Each structure stands twice: as structure tokens, then as C-alpha cells.
Chain A
Amino acid sequence: DADVTQTPRNRITKTGKRIMLECSQTKGHDRMYWYRQDPGLGLRLIYYSFDVKDINKGEISDGYSVSRQAQAKFSLSLESAIPNQTALYFCATSDLGQDSGEQFFGPGTRLTVL
């Protein structure tokens, strides 16, 4: 069973539509992250959350919002999608108590905005 799951895995939508990407984890980690990945660029952090009551903007938060509904769930919303938000989106988790703090990634959501 996957420890970090993302739904949907693929989504095609139109400009102006509201989209929600969901992430769930069974690892019991406190910290969760949303990244986007574009060809030729590194992963870029959109939002991160260190616990249910803690939400922080990342490098590229404009045009996105998030909700941490529970320790295990972290959702990313695009209120009004635009074509340059076409990308591969990853959710990740990490454990506060682990020395390295390595991040564990979900399988990704490929989003296309037409």
C-alpha cells in the first residue's frame, strides 16, 4: 500500500476552472508539502504545513491555496486555473523526529490547463 497517495493522478481542465488536488498519508508524519515540477526546472515549493494549525507559503504560492484538514490530509486548490499552472504536482511528507528529515513523495498529479 502506498504511504502517500494523491488524487487525481491526471487532470485536464480549462482556464478559469477551480481545481482541487488531494493528498493523504499513512506515515503519521506531521509535515506535509506541495511542490510543482516543470521540465528543466527543479521542484518548487508551493505551500508547506508543519502541523494541522500551521500553514506556510512557499516560493511560488500565488494562485494557489491549501487546506490541512487533518494530520493525514493536505489539499491544494487552484481557485482559477491558468495555462502556466500546467505542471506535475507532488505532495510530500517528512517526520519531525527524523535526523535527516528526508521527504517522502506521493506519485504525483499531472495537471493540464487548456
Chain B
Amino acid sequence: GQNIDQPTEMTATEGAIVQINCTYQTSGFNGLFWYQQHAGEAPTFLSYNVLDGLEEKGRFSSFLSRSKGYSYLLLKELQMKDSASYLCAVRDSNYQLIWGAGTKLIIKP
């Protein structure tokens, strides 16, 4: 079967750095996505990785290792507005997105 695993919840301090991990087992791989979702709102796109390595975009970076079936999202200089759920999704061989359950990130002052 297809499976995306990510921690259910994480807590971090304002101004700090946090890394959210995602491991996957899917039938085929055509890219990995990270989305941010605030409570009760729509998911919004953060990053896309299709090749191994690190993609940096401002305070957010995403890393991919296809051989390990592993990705992480790194958030730097945390702000209170970063409190949200972070969703990992993999596009499989049918070009459909398989979604993890999301990691709820709580930021404390």
C-alpha cells in the first residue's frame, strides 16, 4: 500500500528553527510537495522537490532523498503566524497526490 508518515504534532519556540520530517512509501514517485494549512482554512503550497537535495525559499527550506524515501521541511526564525499544520504529499506513478495526515506545529512565545 501507499503510506506517508509525519509526526502528528510538534512544538517550537518563536525565533527558533524546527524540522518536520516526512517518510513515504508510494507506487512510483513524481515529486514531493509541502503545504501549509491554518486551522479551518485551505492548504497553501509551500514547496516542491523532484530531485534530491535542498530547495530554499526564504525562511522555509525543503529537502528530499529519493533513495531513502525521506523529506523534511525546515522552518527558520519561527513566527507565531507559522502555527499551522504542515502537509506532506507525494505524487505517485498515476500522477495523483498521496497525502500525509499533517503535522500540527505549535509555536510558543
Contact = CB atoms under 8 A, between A and B. Distances in A.
Interface of A: 40-45, 48, 58, 90, 100-108
B99 interface: yes
Interface of B: 4, 8, 31, 33, 40-45, 48, 50, 87, 89, 91, 95-102
Contact of A40 (B43, B89, B96, B101): B101
Given A101-B91, A101-B95, A106 B100 contact: no
A44 B100 CA distance: 10
Nearest to A107: B42
28 contacts: A40-B8, A40-B101, A42-B4, A42-B89, A42-B99, A42-B101, A42-B102, A43-B43, A43-B87, A43-B89, A43-B97, A43-B99, A45-B96, A45-B97, A48-B96, A58-B96, A100-B31, A100-B33, A100-B50, A101-B31, A101-B91, A102-B45, A103-B45, A104-B45, A105-B43, A106-B42, A107-B41, A108-B42
Given A40-B101, A102-B48, A104-B45, 11 more contacts: A42-B89, A42-B101, A45-B97, A58-B96, A90-B43, A100-B31, A100-B33, A101-B91, A103-B45, A107-B41, A108-B40
Contacts, number: 45
By Cβ-Cβ distance, the 4 closest A-B pairs, closest first, are A42-B99, A105-B42, A100-B48, A43-B99
Contacts of A101: 31, 91, 95
A38 to B, nearest CB: 9
Contacts of B91: 101
Given A40-B101, A42-B102, A101-B91, A90 B42 contact: yes
A102 B36 CA distance: 13
A102 B41 contact: no
A44 B101 CA distance: 10
Contacts of A44: 99
Most chain B Cβ neighbours within 10 Å, of A48, A101, A102 = A102
